[in-house]
Structure 1
């Protein structure tokens, strides 16, 4: 199978566990996930199958949306409630108005220090491995972007609030909860996390491993697999002219006049109007999706071939 399947990762599974189980269910080895979710987190995990594994790195760049529950008044070593409690604070004076004000202050470009309990590597070793050895190392702040934060519920007496966060890749929601607590002056740690969207993939269309196994046995799974080109609805799409088909099949650089508009998709941008660095889709002479190309200063260069 070639394409992307929207998996609902359940609690207790790592992203690698999901891939391993899918290999058994689908009876194929070429499978890759598109970004890790902590074992305690649940939600959307797009998984690439077959030729679609080539777009795993492109999918990790997509914006993501999370629903997180944060507990005020506590700080832990993991920045969530699975860790050891380090400090406690008084959250009784944090009003809903003050909480909204602080949440809104995190919207936009930020520098975030990754947590020690993360899969980032320093000198070839994952940070969480060092943390389990009782070691703490310096981590450089990384640029992230918070597109929006919406307060869904605040239970002031319990110090619990629920928020929806849409953010760029590389954002740690655990760290965001921690930083919100710091700014409020009472500490904070993540209680639970659900990823509700990755790019075009949403919670409503996600399938559990059990559901995938049933559909596979019923020979009804293929209709749940999204084609690679469907991941990029915003990309302009063009088709190779018949006389230049060989150049596309070999992944060669192309010139603008080699291409024509792809009739199955409506473009708002013509091939000559693309800006340098802009990516677009290319279909072969038979209308089959073949590649993601990128406009260079003199020609059009292949980004990914399929």
Structure 2
């Protein structure tokens, strides 16, 4: 069994727990493509069998989230599960929030939260935080493509849709918005609506996985962000053995050092990159028969 499962992770389970659940049911190697917080829900792409080899090539996939920001209180975890560490009576209006959002789009700096899976000297930050320790975290550059206010959900909270790149902490975004607006804020709800071309309305529940009522997607369904190169069957042996291929007869516009999805006719073979007029292999995905 090789490919991808578009899983809807419910709140209340870790991403690792979801992986273990599916692994026990399908009896295959399973990995996930991007951690979701335990109380978050939404799309969690699962890489199955040989699909796990694609992890390094899908880390940069764009993600879209629906999040509720609550003003009036900040917490130590930056979400609703944490302890309140500060409060404010200043509740920004929807106009004030809208005016602030451009300062949080594009390339921005974020300090990762202590309650995160990042490591410091080999230890998870959340383990250090639970032990009452706080360590210095360096700001990291992340990319936020857009933030849109969907609705005002209560007198002190708003639903926002955020499109962003890898490594973006939505709860940190909410926390930082609170500070920027002279208030205090935390994230209450987080739903990941999509990862790349995988969308929530096409995701399978854990109950559907358990009953076997799901469809295994081809591994290259997560690679649509890469351009495509198609070869004739006469190149099969060379491509399957990772041999470099001359591109003199290829009509497509080729960019050096860019990753390409490589196919023999309609069959996904692997990932290659171009050097001069030569296609070199990065990953052979298909099994050699």
| TM-score normalised by the chain length of structure 2 | 0.93
Q: Aligned with 1:97: secondary structure?
A: helix
Q: How does 1:280-299 map to 2 (within 5 A)?
A: 280-284=260-264, 287-297=266-276, 299=278
Give the SS at the match of 2:42. strand
Is the Cα contact below 8 Å between 2:272 and 2:281 reproduced in 1?
yes
The answer (yes or no) to whether the contact 2:112–2:169 under 8 Å persists in 1 is yes
After superposition, give the CA deviation of every residue in 1:38-60 in whole Å (9 maximum; x if it has no partner): 11000000001111111122222
Does residue 253 in structure 1 map to residue 244 in structure 2?
yes
Residue in structure 1 matched with residue 6 of structure 2 by the alignment: 6
Number of residue pairs matched by the alignment: 285
Say whether 1:139 aligns with 2:132. no
Secondary structure of 2:245's counterpart equals coil
Report SS of the residue matched to 1:23.
helix
**TM-score, with length taken from structure 1:** 0.88
How many angstroms apart in 1 are the aligned matches of 2:225 and 2:140? 27
1:174-207, CA deviations, whole angstroms, 9 ceiling, x for partnerless residues?
1000000001101110111110000011010011
Equivalent-residue separation in structure 2 for 1:239 and 1:104 (angstroms): 41
Aligned partner of 2:21 in structure 1 is 21
What's the C-alpha RMSD, in Å, of the aligned pairs? 1.7
Mark the CA change 1:288 to 1:156 in structure 2 (over 3 Å): closer, same or farther.
closer
Q: Deviations over 1:185-241 (max 9, x none)?
A: 011101111100000110100111101222x1xxx53xx221122323353333334
Q: Distance in 2 between matches of 1:275 and 1:250?
A: 23
* Separation (CA, whole Å) in 2 of partners of 1:131 and 1:106: 26
Distance of 2:276 and 2:135 partners within structure 1: 42
Distance between the aligned counterparts of 1:206 and 1:242, measured in 2?
34
Conserved in 1, the CA contact under 8 Å of 2:10 and 2:40?
yes
Structure 1 residues 155 and 194, CA gap change in structure 2 (3 angstroms): closer
Aligned counterpart for 2:166 among listed residues 160, 166, 169: 169
Contact 2:58 2:223 in 1 (8 A): no
CA distance in 1, matches of 2:216, 2:236: 28
Alpha-carbon distance in structure 2 between the residues aligned to 1:191 and 1:17: 22
- Of the three residues 100, 103, 119, the one matched with 1:102 is 100
Unaligned runs of 5+ in 2: none
CA–CA separation in structure 2 for the residues paired with 1:46 and 1:21: 14
Correspondence list, 1:1-306, <5 A = 1-28=1-28, 30-92=29-91, 94-155=92-153, 157=155, 159-214=156-211, 216=212, 221=214, 224-257=215-248, 270-271=251-252, 273-284=253-264, 287-297=266-276, 299-306=278-285
- 5+ unaligned residues in a row in structure 1: which ranges? 261-269
1:4–1:226 contact (8 Å) kept in structure 2:
yes
CA positional deviation for 1:243: 4.2
Structure 2 vs 1, CA of residues 57 and 212 (structure 1 numbering), >3 Å: closer, same or farther?
same
Structure 1 CA distance for aligned equivalents of residues 271 and 17 of structure 2: 30
